[in-house]
């Protein structure tokens, strides 16, 4: 927007805008003795300022929306990184392979595992605690011991393990998978304590049902991955249903994020099913042995194969 001097020194107000992607100069008015041009210039300046403010608010809202989605996805990826590395490493160490995939496929899988281990190693080189555990305020002994240990006191560091076992805090403080699930639940609940408690109770019931009886350590890791994927997938689905993005770009971004979350969730379920399938022959063998023992123990005394000696 600006003034141009034309036709005998008179000033005329023009503005530049785009039509079909091409710049076009548009005439607005002349600077006559009634002040029409000046009034138009003031009004146009106000309109442009409001439009700029609207664009800024839309950008801020879109950025906040993407940050919220990225935060949830990043938390899920971080939570599953260690679990996935341990799970795949344990499977390969025990001799389980993905059959009928070819030598190149196996080589690629091993390379992927090696890269994951290297990434995990580089990510844990420095002291970068993701969560800072604090003792209860009414536990003066634990507070003092934690403070000394974090200050570098070697003797205090040696006593921390004993105190954690005495207080029964080992599982609460040391279970990284459990802590990751807690953080995901808090993000999904959005700060609502009622909703957070309800999700926690539901996840606890799901975990018990998925673990079943006598689960192995590997199954516990995989169940944790399934739970984390379930939280992320349904949180994004709820976001899409309750608070759908107003812009097409935001909708596409959320849809892609949901697709990634569903893929991770499906992979976790597939791995758990595969491990359960690998365990099936051993379980059936145990059942057959138990059934055979039951049959032998129930043989009647007058049976031809019975020998009282």
Could you read off the pLDDT tens digit of each residue along the chain, which spans 309 residues? 666 667 666 777 777 777 787 877 776 666 666 666 667 677 777 777 787 788 888 887 778 777 777 777 777 776 666 666 666 666 666 555 555 554 434 445 556 666 666 766 665 555 556 667 778 888 888 888 888 888 888 888 888 888 888 888 887 777 778 888 888 898 888 888 899 999 999 999 999 999 988 888 888 889 999 999 999 999 999 888 888 888 888 888 888 888 989 999 999 999 888 888 877 555 445 545 545 555 444 445 554 444 444
Q: What is the pTM of this model?
A: 0.53
The per-residue pLDDT for 205 is 94
Contacts of 38 (CB under 8 A, 6+ apart): 31
Q: Which of 65, 61, 75 is nearest to 188 (CA)?
A: 75
Apex 235 CA angle, 220 and 89, nearest 5: 30
Domain layout of the chain by residue ranges? 2-47, 48-281
- Distance (Å, whole) CA 137 – CA 127: 25
Q: Which of 286, 267, 264 is nearest to 275 (CA)?
A: 267
Contacts of 207 (CB under 8 A, 6+ apart): 223, 224, 227
Task: Give percent helix, percent strand, percent coil of the chain, each to the nearest 5.
Answer: 70, 10, 20
- 109-131 pLDDT, tens digit each: 556 666 666 766 665 555 556 66
């Amino acid at each position: 927007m600006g003034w141009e001097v034309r036709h005998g020194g008179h000033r005329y107000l023009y503005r530049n805008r785009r039509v079909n992607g091409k710049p076009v100069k548009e005439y607005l008015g002349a600077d006559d003795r009634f002040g029409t041009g000046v009034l138009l210039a003031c009004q146009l300046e106000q309109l442009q300022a409001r439009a700029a403010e609207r664009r800024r608010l839309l950008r801020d809202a879109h950025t906040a929306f993407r940050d919220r989605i990225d935060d949830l996805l990043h938390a899920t990826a971080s939570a599953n990184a260690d679990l996935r590395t341990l799970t795949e490493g344990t499977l390969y160490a025990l001799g389980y392979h993905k059959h009928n995939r070819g030598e190149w496929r196996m080589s690629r899988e091993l390379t992927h595992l090696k890269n994951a281990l290297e990434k995990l190693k580089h990510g844990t080189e420095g002291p970068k605690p993701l969560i800072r555990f604090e003792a209860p305020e009414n536990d003066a002994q634990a507070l003092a011991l934690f403070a000394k240990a974090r200050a570098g006191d070697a003797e205090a560091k040696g006593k921390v393990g004993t105190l954690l076992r005495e207080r029964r805090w080992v599982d609460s403080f040391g279970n990284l998978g459990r802590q990751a699930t807690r953080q995901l639940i808090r993000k999904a609940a959005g700060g609502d304590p009622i909703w957070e408690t309800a999700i926690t109770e539901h996840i606890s019931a799901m975990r018990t049902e998925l673990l079943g009886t006598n689960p192995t350590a590997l199954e516990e890791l995989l169940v944790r991955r399934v739970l984390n994927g379930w939280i992320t997938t349904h949180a994004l689905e709820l976001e899409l249903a309750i608070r759908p993005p107003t812009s097409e770009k935001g909708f596409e971004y959320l849809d892609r994020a949901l697709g990634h979350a569903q893929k991770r969730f499906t992979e976790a379920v597939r791995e758990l099913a595969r491990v359960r399938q690998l365990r099936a022959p051993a379980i059936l063998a145990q059942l057959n042995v138990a059934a055979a023992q039951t049959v032998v123990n129930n043989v009647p005394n007058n049976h031809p194969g019975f020998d009282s000696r």
